[in-house]
Amino acid sequence: MNKLFKTVCVCVAAAIGSTGCQSMGPKIIEHSHPQYNNAVVSVIDNQLLLNIVRLKYRENPFFLEVNGITESRNAGADSGLKSMEWFPHDVSSKTKVMPTFLMKNYQIPTISYRPVRGKEFIKYMMTPIPLNVTLGMSSSGWKLQRVFNTCVEKINDVENAPSASGPTPRNKPKYEKFYEMTDLLKKLEDANLIAIGIDPNNQQGLVMRIKQDTTSNADVIKFKQILGLDQNKNEFFFDSNFLKTGSNGLVVRTRSLMGVLFYLSHAVDVPLEDIENGVVQTTVMEDGSVFDWSQNASGTLLKVHCSKNKPRDAFVATYYRDHWFYIADNDLHSKSTFMFVSMLFNLQAGEASSADVAPTLTIPVGR
């Protein structure tokens, strides 16, 4: 028995040593990094969607930030003895005692969260998004139409549903003329007839330029007409001061980050019983009929579905008030808007974080 016990110990030690050497070091990073990366992205997306849904119900949003991930790994084994009969149907069969061992790999993650709050966070959530940040999103690949429809509340005298920058309004907001303008803006951008950049004479200023040979272009004429711009000029400067008026500039009022989230929350589908019970506000037209947010204003940017059952094909889903709220995986337009808002949130709220370093993932890589 002593000889058998020593044999078991040697086998177990060899197995532990062999497995440990193979699984530690680079192998740990290779297997763990993608898993944690996917998990953190999923949590962030879920949290953003959850807070958009909360605003639909006029409930306070709350954000948690993953502040750190620490993972420890241990390898071990359970060993023992097991009796076996070599030929159980043979009366002369003898019972043999065989060594057994089971390899185990323990993974112990520790995740820390930090509530995102404080005066700096409130400042970035409640104050209008800086104009240079808003227009700067277009230079990073985002279409002007999506940027303007999401972040801009008013240009000159043209309004983009300013009452929708807060809790769901009772009456239908004004937005039609603004959307007509941004439809024209998309046509001009796609045709390379318009560009936005830094004013060479004022490095702090932004300017919109329309190609010189477009004076007779019907879309250009209509675009200038809606914004009250001089038809004989093709260079217009941006400003956020509404005390400055005239036909040579684009005076812009942007939404706050909270206003953007409120604006998108109006297009969230909700259960019929919540509408009937007055849990959510219903917006009405001038004739008293119900205004359909899914076909107008913010509903053209983001579509959040509601289901009693967990959706199978969802890009992101969150469970709230006994229902699933989700964005369909094949709804590329809504996914683009969600990604855009997520990037905008990171730009704005990230600066309000008191932490100077990004969340860290610590994994032991040696024995």
- pLDDT value at 65 more than 80: no
For the stretch 299-318, pLDDT in tens is 789 999 999 999 999 999 99
Least confident stretch, 26-30, 52-56, 139-143, 165-169: 26-30
| H helices present in 240-326, as ranges | 257-265, 272-276
Q: Sign of the C-alpha dihedral, residues 269, 270, 275, 279?
A: negative
Quote the tokens at residue 133: 């940040």
| CA separation for the pair 349, 116 (Å, rounded) | 8
For 302, the 3-state DSSP assignment is: coil
Please provide residue 227's backbone torsions phi and psi, each rounded to the nearest 5 degrees.
-90, 0
For residue 48, give both structure tokens: 């953003």
Nearest CA-CA partner of 308 in 333, 273, 264, 256: 273
Express as a percent the part of the chain with pLDDT over 90: 47
Beta-carbon contacts of 45 under 8 Å, excluding residues fewer than 6 positions away, are 315, 316, 338, 342
Q: Which residues pair with 83 in a beta bridge?
A: 97
The rounded distance, in Å, linking the Cα atoms of 349 and 367 is 40
96-155 confidence digits (pLDDT tens)? 666 665 656 656 667 777 777 777 677 778 889 988 888 888 878 899 999 999 999 999
Give residue-wise pLDDT tens across range 280-298. Answer: 999 999 999 999 888 777 7
pTM: 0.78
Q: 29 Cβ partners below 8 Å, 6+ apart?
A: 363, 365
Measure Cα distances from 32 to 10, 22, 24, 174 in Å.
30, 15, 11, 50
Residue 276's Cα: distance from chain center in Å?
31
Nearest to 248 by CA among 224, 229, 266, 265: 229
Write out the two tokens for 316: 């992101």
Interatomic CA distance for residues 104 and 102, integer angstroms: 7
Mean of pLDDT values over 23-44: 69
Check residue 284 and report its DSSP letter: B
Spatial neighbors of 127 by CB under 8 A, at least 6 apart, are 256
In the predicted model, is pLDDT for residue 268 greater than 80?
yes
Q: Between the ranges 35-49, 50-64, 233-247, where is the mean pLDDT highest?
A: 50-64
pLDDT at position 35, please?
Answer: 73
N residues, the chain: 367
Radius of gyration of the chain (CA): 30
CA separation (Å) from 151 to 17, 103, 281? 58, 56, 23
Highest mean pLDDT among 60-64, 96-100, 170-174, 214-218: 170-174
How would you classify the pairing of strands 314-320 and 360-362?
unpaired
Question: Cα separation of 224 and 222, whole Å?
Answer: 5
d(CA 336, CA 347): 17
What is the Cα–Cα distance from 93 to 88, expressed in whole angstroms? Answer: 6
